[in-house]
Amino acid sequence: MTRTKMLFALAAGFVLFAAPARADFKMERRLALEPGGTFTLNADIGTVTLTGDSTSGVAVTVTSRRDDFDALFDLSFDESPAGVTVGIKRRGGWLKGFWGGEWFGDDTQIVVHAPSRTTANIRTSGGSIDVSRLSGRLAVHTSGGSLRAEEIEGPVEGTTSGGSIKMRNVGGDTIARTSGGSIDIVGVRGSLMATTSGGGIDVDTVSGDLHASTSGGGVQVRGAGGRVEAHSSGGPVTVRFAAGNKSGGELTTSGGGVRTELDPGVALSIDASSSGGSVHSDLPVTVQGTTRNSLRGDINGGGATLRLRSSGGGVRISAMR
């Protein structure tokens, strides 16, 4: 054997030894769950997709590129009058998983189909969560990916430490918390609490009170139907109140300007100031005190207080368009 052929054979053998071929793992299970029941998933790994589209029962499919998945993880399935609980637990704990490489490139997928009228509690440590078309309460948590919830006819609580959050058409009070991405929410019929330290917040149409806070971007709100508290240390704050909203609130930023649009017919008390620019109102204000950098007074006789503060730009109050 020539030296070149020998080196090629050794290299090929090393590649085969270092990266053995792996067949896909796939497990399917169907469990009894009537509409109105509760589905719970606790997983140490995996991206989760849950869709409310079955008439009854839960169908769970777990796939992975690892042929030794069932040797690395314990899978459990429990049916009870209280609902269905599915568990995927890493054998040997998280440290073994870290050194064993199961956290990297595993591409584990957990796909669930459940009755639309289901309360769902989902936790995963290894991927994103995507839930749609449920009419019960939804609680989701991941430490390793993004969150998406769409067409949920009930309260939603979503938390992640590793990605962005997107929600569409939620029919109840909503909580969205992330320390690693942006928050984008459209259509909440209830109150909303949205907090992030890693991105901006964009909200469109919330019927109830809103609390939005970020240290990593700006805050933009359209169609705020209740009291608004919006705070940013990383960008501007812009809030457009819904027609007839006279609930007031507090808008503050140290990373840009503050701008708000109001229904000119509502009664509010204004307390605005800026250490980084001027304060200006396009609406008539019965002034109680004013300087170039501050404005205190009443619109249409006064009412709830709308407090505006900026140390990174100006403050502007405009009539809604």
Q: Specify the amino acid at residue 168.
A: R
What is the pLDDT at residue 289?
Answer: 76
**DSSP sequence for 119-148:** EEEEEESSS-EEEEEE-S-EEEEESSS-EE
What is the pLDDT at residue 234?
Answer: 81
CA-CA distance, 238 to 45, in Å (whole number)? 38
What is the pLDDT at residue 11?
Answer: 42
Name beta bridge partners: 315: 258, 279
**pLDDT tens digit sequence for 7-56:** 434 444 433 333 344 448 999 999 999 999 999 999 999 999 999 998 88
Domain ranges of the chain: 18-125
Higher pLDDT, 93 or 191: 191
CA-CA distance, 226 to 66, in Å (whole number)? 50
Query: What share of the chain has pLDDT > 90, as a percent?
Result: 76
Tell me the whole-structure pTM to 2 decimals: 0.88
Looking at the predicted structure, is the pLDDT value of residue 94 above 70? no
What is the pLDDT at residue 93?
Answer: 58
For the ranges 87-91, 191-195, 222-226, 311-315, which has the lowest average pLDDT?
311-315
Looking at the predicted structure, is the pLDDT value of residue 236 above 70? yes
Residue 216: band (very low, low, confident or very high) from pLDDT cuts 50, 70, 90: confident
